[in-house]
Amino acid sequence: MPKKDSYDLIVVGAGPGGASAAIIAAKAGLDVLLVERATVPGEKNMSGSVLFRELTESIFPGFQAASIHDTASSFASLAIKWSIDNDEKEYGVHAGVGSAVMDHQIIVDRSVADAWCAQEAVNAGAEPLYATRVDDVIWEKPIPGGMPRVIGIVTDKGERIYGKAVADASGLHSNLARKTGLVRYPKDKFQFAVKMIFELPADEIRRRFGFWTGASGLPTYDWGLTPVYFGSNPDFYAAHCNAIPDENVIEVVLYSNLTEMIEADTNIWQRMQWFLETQKHWLEGAKPIHVNFHALNTFDIVGYQFESSYLPGYVLIGDAGGFANPVESWGANVAQYQGRLFAELVAEMKENNDWSEAAFARYEEGWKNSFVGDDDISPMCYMFRDGTFKQLWLSLDEAVSAAVALKFTNHPYCEILPAFGPPFAPFMAKAVGLVSPLAPLVKGAEHGLAKLKDITNIVQKIKD
């Protein structure tokens, strides 16, 4: 049972976004209720998740020195492979930028990190209400011609709890986001993920994956050893293997787009078995101990699907609004940023006693004018999902195979190099007209020109 009937801010979901909103609002002196359906925040998660160090530390002071780092790890490179035939032919890219560069992120156990962050919010003054599901919102009596206003929540126990503001950070499956009418995701929005956790002694994990102590002092290894696999045979998928030695676990995750999986009549477990076979040299002797499933919008071609991310009294945060960089699939930073942004705005609303629609609209204005708005780059994902990338690797494979065959039959390079051209004709034909995937480049140019204009103004002032 909540201790009060009414709060300044009700936060639904104690993940990265919810905990961020709760701690910032509590530190600002607001009455905050943090509602979480699990008995312990992070309970439904297992193993790795990437947090951005500087952002997390700015919201949760002491994060860098927290005990959760005792079992955290990092990596010093990024690598992808496109598997052409699920067997022999693979092409990819490996960028080994070093642990000092990659030190800006950290791989944590979400079941540990979520609990720590939520407890920090509680320590700051937020009231926890765990093991409680939120079934609906409370609507204010409609004002003729006005926007509908959310004034509270209804729990699965029938409790009606009122709040001046409600932050929905309850994930991509948010009931509230649908019931308020803000989101109506088509099924193509969702990726279905299967995560398997294997147990292996820490020393053996370190030996197999070649861990060393990185720039941050964390166990570090090259992700090039376990690249992210992509393919589309016949539906698009992504998969990766990740090691966390001090947790004694190796996680194996496979993602498949829900729409394509249904249309291709594929079995995600069969593909997982294939991927486990490709990783068997890492998993030999490891014991499977945990499996979970979740929905996310990785490689999302739908994008931000709503007319608005807010109503008076209510906003969408993180996955609840389908926010995340669709190429990276690292969404905790987005949720944390939005959670902090909204909490700061609610503090201003209370100080000014202004709970108007215009006050809540500043939330949407804020994230749209940040990296969150600029990173709605779902059109780039079409290249993954419409066969463009597949054709790129098929063309590359044909060109390389032809060149190697010519070399091994004693042809000179003057004959080998021209052989690279024709195989790329199908890719060029498919890539022609792909204007929308270039949108991020256009945005980048706009940002560059804006910065150049600023510099030009400064130079002109100096001259004057």
Among 107-121, 328-342, 441-455, the least confident range? 441-455
Residues 29 and 161 in one domain: yes
* Residue 374 vs residue 329, higher pLDDT: 374
Closest C-alpha to 303, from 376, 365, 382: 376
Beta bridge partners of 419: none
Are residues 150 and 102 located together in one domain of the fold?
yes
Q: Do 30 and 102 fall into the same domain?
A: yes
Q: What is the pLDDT of residue 6?
A: 96
Domain match, 177 and 215 both: no
Tell how strand 74-75 and strand 219-221 pair up: parallel
Local structure of 379: helix, strand or coil? helix
The answer, yes or no, to whether residue 296 has pLDDT greater than 70, is yes
State the average pLDDT over residues 10-22.
Answer: 97
Mean pLDDT score of the chain: 89
| Residue 319 near residue 171, CB atoms below 8 Å | yes
Say whether both 292 and 313 belong to one domain.
Answer: no
Q: Give the pLDDT band of residue 461 (cuts 50, 70, 90).
A: low
For 411, the 3-state DSSP assignment is coil
165 and 53 share one domain: yes
pLDDT at 144: 66
Per-residue confidence (pLDDT) for residue 307, from 0 to 100: 78
Residue 457 pLDDT: 67
DSSP secondary-structure letter at 73?
A: B
The pLDDT, as a whole number, for residue 292 is: 86
How crowded is residue 375: how many other Cβ atoms within 10 Å of its Cβ? 17
Q: How many domains does the chain have?
A: 4
For residues 431-436, average pLDDT: 63
Decide if 13 is inside a domain: yes
The reported pLDDT for the residue numbered 329 is 73
Looking at this protein, which amino acid is placed at residue 38? A
Is pLDDT at 54 greater than 70 in this prediction?
yes
pLDDT band at 58 (very low <50, low <70, confident <90, very high): very high
pLDDT at 1: 84
**Does residue 214 sit in the same domain as residue 236?**
yes
Q: What average pLDDT score do residues 331-340 get?
A: 96
Residue 460: band (very low, low, confident or very high) from pLDDT cuts 50, 70, 90: low
**Co-location of 411 and 353 in the same domain:** no
**176 plus 193 within the same structural domain:** no
CA nearest 130: which of 52, 63, 42, 189?
Answer: 42
> Is a pLDDT exceeding 70 seen at residue 83?
yes
Question: Looking at residue 349, what is its pLDDT?
Answer: 98
Average pLDDT over residues 304-316: 89
Residues 414-420 have a mean pLDDT of: 89
Beta carbons of 325 and 377 less than 8 angstroms apart:
yes
What pLDDT was estimated at residue 436?
Answer: 52
Structural domain contains residue 86: no
Q: Does residue 340 lie in a domain region?
A: yes
**Residue 292 sits in which domain range?**
188-296
Whether 62 is in a domain gets the answer yes
* Of 301, 306, 322, residue with least CA distance to 434: 301
**Stronger pLDDT, 16 or 295, i.e. the higher one:** 16
More confident residue, 216 or 166: 166
Give the per-residue pLDDT at 149. Answer: 94
Report which of 81, 59, 87, 57 is spatially closest to residue 69, judged by C-alpha positions. 57
Phi/psi for 309 (5° steps) reads -100, 10
- Tell me the pLDDT band of 381, cut-offs 50, 70 and 90: confident
- pLDDT-derived band at 49, boundaries 50, 70, 90: confident
Confidence of residue 439 (pLDDT cuts 50, 70, 90): low
pLDDT of the residue at 141: 78
Residue 223 located in a structural domain? yes
Residue 244 lies in a domain: yes
In the chain, the amino acid numbered 233 is: N
Q: Is the pLDDT of residue 341 over 90?
A: yes
Domain boundary among 269, 296, 323: 296
In a domain, 268, yes or no: yes
Percentage, residues of the chain above pLDDT 70 = 91
Of 354, 376, 398, which residue constitutes the final position of a domain?
A: 376
Nearest to 27 by CA among 163, 128, 126: 126
Q: Are residues 258 and 193 in the same domain?
A: yes
- The encoded tokens of residue 453 equal 């204009």
Q: Examine residue 234 and say whether the peptide bond preceding it is cis (omega within 30 degrees of 0).
A: yes
Using the 3D structure, point to which of 296, 321, 340 is the last residue of a domain: 296
Mean pLDDT of 142-151: 78
pLDDT, residue 46, reads 67
**DSSP bridge partners of 450:** none
Q: Look at residue 79 in the predicted model and tell me its pLDDT.
A: 93
**Residue owning tokens 């787009």:** 257
Per-residue model confidence as pLDDT tens digits over 152-180:
999 999 999 999 999 999 998 898 999 99
Predicted pLDDT of residue 302 = 83
DSSP H helical ranges for 191-319: 202-209, 258-263, 268-278, 280-283
Structural tokens at position 14: 């104690």
| CATH number for 363 | 3.50.50.60
Confidence of residue 458 (pLDDT cuts 50, 70, 90): low
Q: What is the pTM of this model?
A: 0.90
The answer to which of 119-133, 235-249, 316-330 has the lowest mean pLDDT is: 316-330
Q: Are residues 404 and 342 in the same domain?
A: no
* Residue 136: inside a domain: yes
User: How many CB atoms are closer than 10 A to CB 334?
Assistant: 26
**Same-domain pairing of 60 and 125:** yes
Binned at pLDDT 50, 70 and 90, residue 328 comes out as: confident
